[in-house]
């Protein structure tokens, strides 16, 4: 019997590739160059696929889904799946899976790392030292802001938000959070309205999924509520923050700093961010440890393998 056809949009680790070869006829992959495919390339390749493994950077819109003639499952190697038109998939009977849980701790580590790097001016001071500008020690050199005993406001207390709150307890931070509903497993954190969180927090950490409901959740009005000494950290998604409003707030020093792992229109984020020494910029790497990226790819692969073997999907999206 012919093996089902699989398309893999980006380079994956060899061990994951090998596990897929056991079950699938891999019709297209990106192992050689790992250059993102444009919409036409996605449309062309999806037409031959029974199964697809994609990433957060592939835009699987209705036009791509429309080109799928025999597709059964799309497995994305990410927890967020706003890049996939799930309604269009549903309408054509295509199932979608994501990779929750396996990236929670690594992503929480990164949220904390980005917050600390921003508060303690790590990138800025390293640029200075590397440029050979360090001519002597001084009391006020790169004086930053303390995390310990500061107030952390987490917007989005899901699995990753809770893991960040647990780390914050070790730093003796006061933790506020905002979700639509108070969370059952929020560890030592207090639910407050978004406005109160923005007014009182020294660090505002965004961990919500992107959807029309969270589009520009942080815009000019929200930034205006933050303290001039406060720092914004975004490890959620581009589009959760109105980047133009953030650039204006940074220009006018209405907030102190920002740590940004995600941007509107990434990877082509607004170069205006580059003018700010007090902005730490990373290229959407919050879940990127070797072990966790491997686990994400393997979970995406395991979903496809399960379906091809007639077993239930491991992590279908809701």
Question: Of 23, 200, 264, 266, which is the active-site residue?
Answer: 266
Whether residue 194 is preceded by a cis peptide bond, meaning omega within 30 degrees of 0, is: no
Is 178 tagged catalytic? no
| Interface with ligand GLV, residue 315, by CB under 6 A | no
Question: Of 10, 167, 178, 237, which is the active-site residue?
Answer: 237
Element (H, E) at 51: strand 51-54
Closest by Cα among 68, 34, 32 to 51: 68
Give the rounded distance of the alpha carbon of 136 from its chain centre. Answer: 39
Is 284 tagged catalytic? yes
Is 215 tagged catalytic? no
Closest by Cα among 237, 238, 287 to 113: 287
**What is the smallest separation between the CB atom of 240 and ligand GLV, expressed in angstroms?**
12
In the complex with ligand GLV, which residue's Cβ is closer, 23 or 266? 266
In the complex with ligand GLV, which residue's Cβ is closer, 255 or 296? 296
Measure Cα distances from 277 to 94, 189, 266 in Å.
Answer: 46, 31, 20
Question: Of 121, 167, 284, 307, which is the active-site residue?
Answer: 284
Binding-site size, ligand GLV (CB under 6 A): 6
| Interface with ligand GLV, residue 238, by CB under 6 A | no
Indicate which single residue of 56, 96, 119, 258 sits in contact with ligand GLV (rule: CB under 6 A). Answer: 56
Residues 6+ apart with CB under 8 A from 20: 6, 8, 26, 53, 301, 304, 305
Q: Distance (Å, rounded) from C-alpha 288 to C-alpha 265?
A: 20
**What is the smallest separation between the CB atom of 100 and ligand GLV, expressed in angstroms?**
9
In the complex with ligand GLV, which residue's Cβ is closer, 52 or 103? 103
| Interface with ligand GLV, residue 153, by CB under 6 A | no
Q: Which of residues 169-208 bind ligand GLV (CB under 6 A)?
A: none
In the complex with ligand GLV, which residue's Cβ is closer, 53 or 103? 103
Phi, psi for residue 285 in degrees, rounded to 5: -120, 15
Angle of CA points 163, 161, 150, to nearest 5°:
85
| Interface with ligand GLV, residue 96, by CB under 6 A | no
Closest by Cα among 30, 31, 66 to 46: 66
Q: Which of residues 269-308 bind ligand GLV (CB under 6 A)?
A: 287
Stretch that binds ligand GLV, among 18-26, 29-37, 60-68, 75-83 (CB under 6 A): 75-83
Q: Distance (Å, rounded) from C-alpha 57 to C-alpha 10?
A: 9
Indicate which single residue of 80, 153, 238, 239 sits in contact with ligand GLV (rule: CB under 6 A). Answer: 80
Closest by Cα among 208, 91, 231, 124 to 160: 208
Indicate which single residue of 78, 108, 255, 260 sits in contact with ligand GLV (rule: CB under 6 A). Answer: 78
Indicate which single residue of 79, 204, 206, 255 sits in contact with ligand GLV (rule: CB under 6 A). Answer: 79
Which residues are part of the catalytic machinery?
237, 266, 284
Binding residues (CB under 6 A) for ligand GLV: these are 56, 78-80, 103, 287
């Amino acid at each position: 019997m012919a093996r089902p056809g699989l398309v893999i949009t980006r380079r994956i680790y060899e061990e994951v590739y090998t596990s897929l070869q056991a079950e699938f006829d891999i019709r297209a992959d990106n192992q050689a160059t790992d250059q993102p495919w444009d919409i036409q390339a996605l449309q062309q390749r999806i037409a031959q696929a029974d199964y697809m493994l994609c990433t957060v950077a592939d835009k699987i819109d209705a036009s791509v889904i429309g080109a799928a003639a025999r597709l059964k499952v799309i497995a994305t190697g990410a927890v967020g799946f706003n890049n996939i038109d799930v309604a269009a998939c549903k309408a054509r009977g295509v199932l979608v899976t994501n990779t929750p849980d396996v990236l929670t701790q690594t992503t929480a580590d990164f949220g904390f790392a980005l917050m600390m790097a921003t508060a303690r001016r790590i990138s800025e001071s390293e640029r200075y030292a590397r440029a050979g500008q360090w001519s002597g020690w001084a009391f006020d050199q790169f004086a930053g802001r303390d995390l310990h005993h500061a107030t952390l406001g987490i917007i989005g207390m899901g699995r990753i938000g809770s893991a960040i709150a647990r780390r914050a307890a070790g730093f003796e931070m006061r933790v506020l959070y905002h979700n639509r509903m108070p969370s059952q497993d929020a560890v030592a954190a207090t639910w407050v309205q978004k406005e109160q969180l923005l007014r009182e927090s020294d660090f505002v950490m965004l961990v919500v999924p992107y959807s029309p409901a969270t589009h520009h959740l942080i815009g000019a009005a929200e930034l205006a509520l933050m303290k001039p000494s406060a720092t914004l950290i975004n490890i959620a998604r581009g589009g959760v923050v109105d980047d133009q409003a953030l650039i204006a707030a940074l220009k006018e020093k209405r907030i102190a700093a920002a740590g940004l792992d995600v941007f509107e229109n990434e990877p082509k984020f607004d170069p205006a961010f580059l003018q700010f020494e007090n902005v730490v910029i990373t290229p959407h790497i919050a879940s990127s440890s070797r072990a966790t990226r491997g686990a994400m790819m393997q979970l995406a692969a395991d979903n496809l393998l399960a379906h091809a073997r007639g077993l239930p999907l491991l992590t279908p999206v809701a």
